[in-house]
Copies of this chain bind each other. A is one copy, B any other.
């Protein structure tokens, strides 16, 4: 339920409404909006009697939230969330490009790739320091050393950095070094990690699980927002289907649906969806055309030598062309009168 305050509601009136809600054993979460404040009521068991709050001073109306995800829903917040990452805005009206190698392999390598992607159009640098691997015998990443290299990349290039946190311990480290903390597809319903992310002050990039419905995905985001962190960026990366010509099946219809249901920004990872380099540029174009807010792609200066996921990493020239194309496509879309 949403208690919508009048435009001219005074801070103490908002405070009073919050108190009135919490005095009834409920959780009140004020959502500052462009024009007016709304207070979302959480943790109610069963229906809440609207008339309890209608009479409070400066309350305009009390409206139900019909979706199971409340803070994530457009019902609670009609305007788009823009997440600011070191000066780079992510969300409606902006097109962000995150790029870099699958895994950080060395300082020299990371710096070289960072320079390459920056010159060609990337805003944010990606690179794995702690890699979730199907096999316990596969390369697991450089660990904290990788995070230090990411910090070096930021210092040298000015690009913000994003990398994955695979558990609580790693989250503390990643939160310390990185600008965006990624929660991977396999951890999308690691609720304990989501709660940890909810306590963070860093933006969180939440990938969709391989078999997650949109509702489950938005509920995972709700865990983070419920914890107090509003800076959630969603990322579609393909779902598992019978099709085997690509590693996963990129579900682009998720983008218009998520944009309708939620105010959160949503980007697309065509690299992990495809699994094969030749599909990445076409799928990247398609993702921007469908209306997402950016891409996260794997680029390597020597993909055939990469320690992981080389087959899906773009060559620098392909990445340049991708950036040029999506910029042009984005401008077509932005001037559209409807989407």
Interface residue ranges of A250-283 to B (CB < 8 Å): 250-257, 260, 273-274, 278-279, 281-283
Known: A283-B290, A321-B338, A336-B325. A136 touches B223 (CB 8 A): yes
Task: Judge whether B249 and A239 touch: CB under 8 Å.
Answer: yes
Contact with B along A162-201 (1 / 0, CB 8 A): 0000111110000000000000001101111101000000
Task: Judge whether B325 and A337 touch: CB under 8 Å.
Answer: no
Task: Judge whether B219 and A135 touch: CB under 8 Å.
Answer: yes
Interface residue? A305 (CB, 8 A): no
Interface residue ranges of A135-167 to B (CB < 8 Å): 135-137, 166-167
Q: What is the distance, in angstroms, from A216's C-beta to the closest C-beta of chain B?
A: 6
Query: Of the candidates B193, B285, B321, B333, which one forms a contact with A290 in the assembled complex, judged by CB atoms under 8 Å apart?
Result: B285
Interface residue? A309 (CB, 8 A): no
Task: Judge whether A210 and B211 touch: CB under 8 Å.
Answer: yes
Q: What is the distance, in angstroms, from A338's C-beta to the closest C-beta of chain B?
A: 6
Of A5-13, A81-89, A240-248, the one contacting chain B is A240-248
When C-beta atoms are compared, the residue in chain B nearest to A68 turns out to be B135
> Which residues from chain B contact A333 at a C-beta distance below 8 Å?
285, 325
Task: Judge whether B290 and A278 touch: CB under 8 Å.
Answer: no
> Which residues from chain B contact A250 at a C-beta distance below 8 Å?
252-253
Interface residue? A24 (CB, 8 A): no
Known: A43-B137, A189-B186, A252-B250. A213 touches B245 (CB 8 A): yes
When C-beta atoms are compared, the residue in chain B nearest to A332 turns out to be B328
> Which residues from chain B contact A325 at a C-beta distance below 8 Å?
332-333, 336
CA A170 to CA B168, docked complex, whole Å: 13
Task: Judge whether B260 and A278 touch: CB under 8 Å.
Answer: yes
Interface residue? A128 (CB, 8 A): no
> Which residues from chain B contact A70 at a C-beta distance below 8 Å?
137
Interface residue? A287 (CB, 8 A): yes
When C-beta atoms are compared, the residue in chain B nearest to A288 turns out to be B289
Query: Of the candidates B249, B255, B282, B337, which one forms a contact with A339 in the assembled complex, judged by CB atoms under 8 Å apart?
Result: B282
Query: Of the candidates B222, B252, B282, which one forms a contact with A136 in the assembled complex, judged by CB atoms under 8 Å apart?
Result: B222
CA A295 to CA B189, docked complex, whole Å: 25
Interface residue? A226 (CB, 8 A): yes
CA A142 to CA B88, docked complex, whole Å: 43
> Which residues from chain B contact A278 at a C-beta distance below 8 Å?
256, 260
Known: A245-B213, A254-B245, A332-B328. A42 touches B282 (CB 8 A): no
> Which residues from chain B contact A317 at a C-beta distance below 8 Å?
338
Interface residue? A133 (CB, 8 A): yes
Task: Judge whether A211 and B211 touch: CB under 8 Å.
Answer: yes
